[in-house]
Structure 1
Amino acid sequence: MLKSWRRRCRRNSGATPPELTIPNHFLCPISLHLMKDPVTLSTGTTYDRHSIETWIESGNKTCPVTNQILRDLEPIPNHAIRKIIQEWCVENRSRGVDRIPTPRIPITSAEVSEMLSRISDASDESRCREFVAKIKQSAKESDRNKRCFVANGSTKILSAAFAAFSNSDESGDVLAEILSAMITLTPVLDEETSRNLSSEHSLRKLLWFMRLGSLSTRRNAVLTLRSILSFEIAVNIEGVVEALIRLVKEPICSTTTKASLLSIYYLLKSIEYSNAIAVTLMEMGMVEKLLEMAVDSDKSVTEKALGVLDGMCGHGEVRERARENALMIPLLVKKVLRVSEMATEFSVSILLKIVREEESVVEALQAGAFQKLLLVLQIGSDEGTKEKVTELLKVLNGYRSRIECVESSDFKHLKRPF
């Protein structure tokens, strides 16, 4: 096992001049390369921090060299050997050796706990903002620091602070800083953190940020809302749908667009409000916008646009609008087997909902839907999609003899996934 770890570490390590011999005690026992941040385990063996932390994070609880069980998984910086290595690098600068920089000492669980307790106890907004800024700055220094903060429940403490300060009308700055810190730590929040942010006051603050915040704050707010909705937490705040539509129509970045589409998709799954939401989306031109996005967007955006369109077409008034759009059926047929399995699933589902009357059936046949759907069955898909394809084929088959179907030559270059 240790040999495989050494090979993996060597791929990311720079080679030293062949004529230069590095002292053995400067080499990491795992990577066999010069240690840049030497740390010592409870067994007394010294490793490069990146190598040993990767080893431990992969679930290993033993020292790679001695095979002893580690009493403490927190490595201790070996400043003495690091200084000796730095001096050796300086002495050999003329031979092409660069001096290794003095590494930043990673944050410890004890330090994280101390910072979080200060945030929990802070009743003053300026003090809370100061501590939150320190968390964000420390998290940006390394991925290890981020993991340490998340492992110690930082997002739960930060979300509780957001909920506490959201009752104040003058707390915009500290709330924006808290949002930024949470998304810096992890863009996908856990359920407890999301529920902390689901109070009416907190949701109204998120909505305010989505409407009037800076570009980065709008992004952080919609990412937070996406996490809340993903756990089927009710969000009954007037103006949320309109704010999400604006973020789709006036894009800030790809991440914001995807989060907005996914939030709308989750809202449409709400049984109680889905019809009203679908009608609002339709009245604000989202049928046309979603089709436009599905034409030339990347895979992820296309999947989400089709997913929202599928949710909208579950309602009669929207289906009528969809049928009237000349781009709808040809685009859906084209997206089958052209983007991803998920895009195919959504495209088939929408077609089944809107291809019912003779005019729409004929249009689907002329676009080559019958041949495409047969290919879906041949290539394979999940059971739910197969059932929808079979039902749709039955609808189309009744009209095949009445029109001249298109040739299937368009599909000769289609590659099967096996």
Structure 2
Amino acid sequence: MGLSLRMRRRGGTKNDVLTPAITSSSSEEEEIVIPSQFQCPISYDLMKDPVIIASGITYDRENIEKWFESGNKTCPVTNTVLTTLEQTPNHAIRRMIQEWCVANKGSSLDRIPTPRVPVTSHQAVEICGKLLSATRRGDHVVCAEMVEKVVRLGRESERNKKCFRQNGAGLVLCVCFDAFSENANVSELLEGVLFLLTWMFPVGSEGQGKLTSTASFSRLVGFLKSGDQNAAFIVKELLSLDEANVHKLAAVNGVFDALVKSIRDSSSLTSIFHMISAKPETTTRFLELGLVNSTVEMLVDSENSVCEKALLVLDAICESDEGREIVRGNELTMPILVKKILKISEFAKKSLVSVMWKICKSGDGSEVEEALRLGAFKKLVVMLQVGCGEGTKEKVTELLKMMNRYMKMNGFVDVSDSSIEFKHLKKPS
């Protein structure tokens, strides 16, 4: 017994190509049968990476791993409880499958390549141990070799990355980075460590402690200044994990310049938001470096996820009088806010409305006039009618009331839709 694939042969020479069968009276049809011993008992597909489990049954590795990851500890065929979930490559079956594919090379079946054997827990522990030992004795050459090995193996599969994560690689890499952070001659090694650390978060409290030491944070800021995206990601992760890390980072020389310089990286935007939110006094330093101009410019043509982060930063800036004044003074602020009202995600709209509400409420009325002239009234009405979060709805309602009062007091005609009267607004259900 076996799985049948109906194929048709084109032409009539010995070099004919086999393709999936299509009913045709003029085609000679051929049936290819996949032997049952080559089929995975779970999917019934041809096995690409056959492995034997403790019950003695062979499965395709991908399918049996999904079975185990779902919480099952039994053999799908025999239903017996397994003493171990380890899988052993079935080289004999794999070679037979490859030979069978070669024999049917004229068909639509491709030869199954020899699979890469995944990293085992024992191998991961061994590699991490060698890296840790080399770190402790200051041998950066061996450290670089081990880091390169982890990079190569991790790139082979997500399973390998997971195996290293589960066997302590994150902490060992943090220890390595901290140990060599003051060595100016090992930048390549540290770049490799940073790359690997992007796979390892969260790294635990001990790992965080190593990465947030004065030496490590200073070296991270140095990489940040050079535009290293992995450093930007790691700084963002550290700041989001613990507010105490914000205070540590704020004390590092050059960090504000580095974050503003790398603001085009969305990770740096998030880091700036965390710093302003957790330590409001940092706002002044960021404003001195032109943060408002850089953030507003990012709103012009950035994708939704970047807009969300940029608006979060602007909203945080507007918590201070100084911040609101500078945001109001930027000629692009209101035009961009009005333009984006109905073109961004619901999450971003919350921040956008908050920014507009803060600068209009604290201004002299010119902001309300500009918003009206740009057509904000009609767009805010639409937002209210479509529905939004409770806090956002309150701010939208207050903005509309401000605009409505201004129109009545100044005889302002809203050219975007002059027929709209606030008292006729439909309340969201």
The normalised TM-score by structure 2 is: 0.82
Which residue does 1:48 correspond to in 2? 60
- Paired with 1:367 and 1:70, the residues of 2 have a C-alpha distance of 68
Residue 190 of structure 1 contacts residue 227 of structure 1 at CA under 8 Å; is this kept in 2? no
Residue 268 of structure 1 contacts residue 277 of structure 1 at CA under 8 Å; is this kept in 2? no
Which residue does 2:71 correspond to in 1? 59
Q: Deviations over 1:199-218 (max 9, x none)?
A: 11001111111224xx6xx1
Residue number among 215, 222, 225 corresponding to 1:211 in the alignment? 225
**One-letter amino acid of the counterpart of residue 266, structure 1:** H
> How far 1:230 sits from its partner (Å)?
1.1
- Paired with 2:155 and 2:282, the residues of 1 have a C-alpha distance of 39
Which residue does 1:354 correspond to in 2? 359
- Paired with 2:170 and 2:310, the residues of 1 have a C-alpha distance of 30
Which residue does 2:423 correspond to in 1? none
> How far 1:326 sits from its partner (Å)?
2.6
**One-letter amino acid of the counterpart of residue 376, structure 2:** A
Which residue does 2:5 correspond to in 1? none
Give the match's secondary structure for 2:72.
coil
- Paired with 1:155 and 1:65, the residues of 2 have a C-alpha distance of 37
Q: Deviations over 1:333-378 (max 9, x none)?
A: 2222311012111111111111132111111222233333333333
Alpha-carbon distance change, 396 to 278 in structure 1, aligned in 2, over 3 angstroms: farther
Residue 22 of structure 1 contacts residue 34 of structure 1 at CA under 8 Å; is this kept in 2? yes
Number of aligned residue pairs: give it: 382
1:87 aligned to 2:99?
Answer: yes
Residue 256 of structure 2 contacts residue 286 of structure 2 at CA under 8 Å; is this kept in 1? no
Q: Deviations over 1:5-29 (max 9, x none)?
A: xxxxxxxxxx977611111111111
Give the match's secondary structure for 1:20.
strand
Which residue does 1:160 correspond to in 2? 175
Which is higher, the Rg of structure 1 or of structure 2? 2
Mapping of residues 160-309 of structure 1, within 5 Å: 160-183=175-198, 185-186=199-200, 188-192=201-205, 193-212=207-226, 218-231=228-241, 232=243, 233-234=245-246, 235-236=249-250, 237-248=252-263, 257-280=265-288, 284-309=289-314
- Paired with 1:57 and 1:323, the residues of 2 have a C-alpha distance of 53
> How far 1:180 sits from its partner (Å)?
1.8
Residue 335 of structure 1 contacts residue 343 of structure 1 at CA under 8 Å; is this kept in 2? no
Residue number among 325, 329, 339 corresponding to 2:330 in the alignment? 325
Residue 182 of structure 2 contacts residue 219 of structure 2 at CA under 8 Å; is this kept in 1? no
Give the match's secondary structure for 2:32.
coil
- Paired with 1:309 and 1:171, the residues of 2 have a C-alpha distance of 38
Q: Deviations over 1:308-354 (max 9, x none)?
A: 12222222223222222232112212222311012111111111111
Alpha-carbon distance change, 37 to 318 in structure 1, aligned in 2, over 3 angstroms: same
Which residue does 1:369 correspond to in 2? 376
Q: Deviations over 1:153-203 (max 9, x none)?
A: 3112211221122243443332222112222x25x5445343431111001
What percentage of residue pairs aligned between the two structures are identical? 43
My pick for the range that moved more, 15-24 or 136-145, is 15-24
Residue 302 of structure 1 contacts residue 343 of structure 1 at CA under 8 Å; is this kept in 2? yes
1:35 aligned to 2:47?
Answer: yes
> How far 1:130 sits from its partner (Å)?
1.1
Give the match's secondary structure for 2:59.
strand
Residue 278 of structure 1 contacts residue 312 of structure 1 at CA under 8 Å; is this kept in 2? no
Mapping of residues 111-130 of structure 1, within 5 Å: 111-122=123-134, 123=137, 124-130=139-145
The normalised TM-score by structure 1 is: 0.84
Alpha-carbon distance change, 375 to 195 in structure 1, aligned in 2, over 3 angstroms: farther
- Paired with 2:418 and 2:144, the residues of 1 have a C-alpha distance of 63
Residue 324 of structure 2 contacts residue 358 of structure 2 at CA under 8 Å; is this kept in 1? yes
> How far 1:272 sits from its partner (Å)?
4.9
- Paired with 1:342 and 1:289, the residues of 2 have a C-alpha distance of 21
- Paired with 1:170 and 1:407, the residues of 2 have a C-alpha distance of 62
1:405 aligned to 2:414?
Answer: yes
Give the match's secondary structure for 1:397.
helix
More strand by share: 2
Alpha-carbon distance change, 272 to 326 in structure 1, aligned in 2, over 3 angstroms: closer
> How far 1:384 sits from its partner (Å)?
2.5
> How far 1:48 sits from its partner (Å)?
0.8
1:145 aligned to 2:160?
Answer: yes
Which residue does 2:403 correspond to in 1? 396
- Paired with 1:385 and 1:315, the residues of 2 have a C-alpha distance of 20
Residue 294 of structure 1 contacts residue 302 of structure 1 at CA under 8 Å; is this kept in 2? yes
> How far 1:292 sits from its partner (Å)?
2.1
Residue 118 of structure 2 contacts residue 160 of structure 2 at CA under 8 Å; is this kept in 1? yes
Alpha-carbon distance change, 410 to 153 in structure 1, aligned in 2, over 3 angstroms: farther
Alpha-carbon distance change, 351 to 147 in structure 1, aligned in 2, over 3 angstroms: same
Give the match's secondary structure for 2:415.
coil
Give the match's secondary structure for 2:278.
coil
Give the match's secondary structure for 1:320.
helix
